[in-house]
Structure 1
Amino acid sequence: MVLPGKRRAGAKSGVGAVRPDGTALCSLALVLLFLPVAGACLLPLALLARRALGVPLWLAYGGWFTSAVCYGMRPVQLTMARLLWPVRRPTEAERERLERIWRHVVTHAGVCGRRFRIRVVDLPDVNAHSVGRDLVCVTTGALGALGDRELAGVLAHELGHHLRMHTSAAAFLVWVLLPLQGIAILGTLLAAPAAILARGLAQSRLGHPWAGGCARGASRLGHGIRAVFAAPGVAAFCAKNAAGRSAEYRVDAFAVDVGLGPELLSALRWFSASEAAAEAARRSRADRQDRAGRARHAAVHISRPTHPPLDRRMARISARVESARTVPRREPV
């Protein structure tokens, strides 16, 4: 059980203060970098609205910028979370447990916990994530599988995302990337005729030598159209994922600095052991399927691109915890 602790001296020195770090500033820089590209991607839609509905360009783009302001509001963020996940309020038992653990976390961080909201996601996956400015979501799988100590480390990690403004900056970056995703979908639609032609020529029984060449040419044309339209979004998401990996390291360090590094390390060790067991089970199933002749490919586990490997995170946390233990404490004058 997690017991309330005293406020740490490190929290008074500004560790728990709300301030953007390098990752949040990088996300905001990416917003400014891709904003003109997103505006250019919206131009065909704005021109269509002007031609069909008589909406002037300034009003179309004004509505787009207004949506960015709405995107940063708490009710909108909660609505988006409910659309993406089955988010709900905690039950009485869940609320008592989460409030006890959350008081422990915010006491160590030296912040007011009332400005944050905790919601439960009805998913069996053991996970937690932060949304917008102040929303922390915990899955029912995490509540059932993790102990209070491990859950405190996970919540400290998510609190670090909010205090370093990672999720706030990422929300606006996602808003900028939406038009880039739209233009990638448009490229897929434009490439569809070439793909259909390539499949038709490949499946035809024409004996002419030019049939195969035309099929390959049409296929390459379709791939080229999709690549051109998807290139801005691919570049933006690669930069976003790189910033996300940096954010994970930073908030891991935050959890250590507020005194909850061992708790987070214990949670990550649980995740690592769980992943290893799941990978062994997948390989065993794949081997049985291969021997039975029912599987073409072995199961491959691909880690999320926004998160660094667990072993690297655990190594950094262990080193930082050990360093914090060896640093001599300064006695008050």
Structure 2
Amino acid sequence: MTKPAESPGLPPDYPRYPEAPPPTPAHVPSQPSPEHDDLDYRHPGGTRVHYRARQRTADATALGRLALHVPGFLTSLLVVLGMATLLEAWLGLPAWLPTALWLASGALTFHRPSERFLARHLLRLKHPIPCELALLTPVWREVTARAGVDGDRYELWIEDSDDLNALAAAGHIVAVTRRALERLPEAQLAAVLAHELGHHTAGHAWTSLLSWWYSLPGRLAWQCLAAATVGLIRITSGFSYVAAGILIVLLGWITFATLTLTYGLPLLLLALPYLSAAVGRRAELRADMHAASLGFGPMLSRTLHDGLAEEASPSDDGMLSRLLSTHPDHRTRLHHLQRYLTPRP
């Protein structure tokens, strides 16, 4: 396997990362055939680009994610209504007003200033410096040209991380790590960006953020309730075990009554992390298929092969951690990419 080429254009003082150790034969399967290493990823259509009429869709994975979070949304709605009712009793503020504002706040997913705040302060991303932008922009334009998507609608960001990674978030955020920008050849960087573009065009990015946002009040209320319950049991057990027992029975009765009145809706929240992780793994495979359908299958496969040496073996992780993982392992992704690696006649 040839050593990945260094990306040109970086200044001499730009931070460098050590080369990854060569893959061990016991852990890494055979590499793709050599003819895939030198494939030209350039757009064959020249300078003319045809944009698709529909730049975005919401595929089955995106819709499934939204459907999974309906119980969390309803729980959050009850929490917000409860808080709004308390504000109405305390300040005289109409209860419908904060509830309506919370429901409308999801539109901030596509609000550019809100996205930039999310990128800077929550995701810890940075704007590319000129030399980074000079490397990213032509590759990004190549990817979007193949997809028939207006690349100017999206904003490119840099994550200061030593991982070979990238991400798509909100409505217009596409980010790559500094190490990925430095280490990956242009063709492989294009494959990674095509994968992230697939998350945007299929609706995975914005549905993920909306699901997280609208289930947040319910999760916070659950955590506060659990912490308060544990603390109260500890306090009462310090005085009397009988009092602690009575409190536990009382809490059990309240829990049973709540589940009865809500038809067991809160129980779905316990299974939500596992179901959501399964949908996330499916979304990753669909984004891989999007990149491969644009002709980046061999390049993406090469990137995954290179990452196998740094990925922990599935046997090293417990069953619970694998079920909660939002990304399939590299071997699974490579298996699904095999049909895109056959050279076309």
TM range (shorter): 0.7 to 0.9
Alignment-derived partner of residue 290 in structure 1:
none
Q: Is residue 185 from structure 1 mapped to residue 223 from structure 2 by the alignment?
A: yes
Secondary structure, counterpart of 2:161 in structure 1: coil
Whether the aligned pair in 2 keeps the contact of 1:4 and 1:107 (CA below 8 Å) is no
Give secondary structure in 2 for the equivalent of 1:260.
Answer: helix
1:147 to 170, 180, 185: 185
**Matching residue of 2:295:** 259
For residues 225 and 260 of structure 1, the distance between their equivalents in structure 2, rounded to whole angstroms, comes to 55
Using a 3 Å threshold, how does the CA distance of structure 1 residues 219 and 128 change in structure 2: closer, same or farther? farther
The 3 A distance-change label for structure 1 pair 94 and 230 is farther
Q: How far 1:253 sits from its partner (Å)? A: 0.7
SS of the aligned residue for 2:158 comes to strand
Of residues 53, 70, 86, the one that matches 2:124 is 86
CA contact (8 A) 2:280 2:327 kept: yes
Shift of 1:272: 1.6
Q: Which residue of 2 aligns with 1:316?
A: 336
Aligned pair in 2 of structure 1 residues 59, 13: CA closer, same or farther (>3 Å)? Answer: closer
In the TM superposition, 1:68-83 aligns within 5 A as: 68-83=106-121
Q: Which residue of 1 aligns with 2:62?
A: 24
1:215-242 Cα distance to aligned partner (Å, 9 max, x none): 7997899899999897454333333222
Q: Summarize the Cα distance change of 1:242–1:14 in structure 2 as closer, same or farther, 3 Å threshold.
A: farther
For residue 45 of structure 1, what is the amino acid of its counterpart? M
The Cα of 1:38 is off from its aligned counterpart by 2.0
Q: 2:277 aligns with which of 230, 238, 241?
A: 241
Tell me how far 1:302 sits from its aligned partner: 4.5
Q: Which residue is 1:295 aligned to?
A: none
Offset of residue 42 of structure 1: 2.1
Letter matched to residue 328 of structure 2: P
Contact 1:120/1:139 (<8 A) preserved: yes
User: CA, structure 1 residues 55+264, in 2 after alignment: closer, same or farther (shift >3 Å)?
Assistant: same
Residue 43 of structure 2 contacts residue 145 of structure 2 at CA under 8 Å; is this kept in 1? yes
Paired residues of 2:71 and 2:269 also in contact (CA < 8 A): no
1:123 and 2:161 are equivalent in the alignment: yes
- How far, CA to CA, are the matches of 1:299 and 1:29 in structure 2? 28
Structure 1 segment 95-110 matched on structure 2, within 5 A: 95-110=133-148
Deviation at 1:71, TM superposition (A): 3.4
Q: Is the Cα contact below 8 Å between 2:72 and 2:218 reproduced in 1?
A: no
Relative to 1, partners in 2 of residues 1:33 and 1:233: Cα closer, same or farther, differing over 3 Å?
A: closer
- Tell me, yes or no, if the aligned pair for 2:41 and 2:295 is still in contact at 8 Å: no
2: CA distance, partners of 1:71 / 1:111: 20
- Give the C-alpha shift of residue 25 in structure 1: 1.9
Q: Which stretch has the larger CA shift, 258-267 or 122-131?
A: 122-131
Give the Cα–Cα distance (whole angstroms) in 2 for the partners of residues 186 and 275 of structure 1: 36
- 2 CA distance for matches of 1:91 and 1:178? 34
1:161 correspondence with 2:161: no
Is 1:269 the counterpart of 2:269? The answer is no
Amino acid at match of 2:229: A
Q: 1:116 is aligned with what amino acid?
A: Y
- Per-residue deviation, 1:257: 0.7
Relative to its length, the structure with more helix (as a share) is 1
Distance 1:192 1:71, change over 3 A: same
Alpha-carbon distance between aligned partners in 1 of 2:190 and 2:107, rounded to the nearest angstrom: 33
CA distance in 2, matches of 1:40, 1:196: 28
Q: Distance in 1 between matches of 2:249 and 2:132?
A: 55
- Residue 67 of structure 1 corresponds to which residue in structure 2? 105
How many angstroms apart in 1 are the aligned matches of 2:118 and 2:253? 34
Q: Map Cα deviations across residues 86-136 of structure 1 (whole Å, 9 max, x no partner).
A: 222111111111112212222322322211111111222221100111210
The runs of 5 or more residues in structure 1 that have no matched partner are 202-209, 284-297, 329-333
Structure 1 pair 27–214 and aligned structure 2 pair: CA distance change class (3 A): same
Please give the secondary structure, in 2, of the residue aligned with 1:56: coil
Residues 219 and 153 of structure 1, relative CA distance in 2, 3 Å threshold = farther
- What secondary structure does 1:52 align onto? helix
Q: Give the gaps of 5 or more residues in structure 2.
A: 6-39, 260-264
Which residue in 2 is equivalent to 1:135? Answer: 173
Give percent identity, aligned residues only.
28
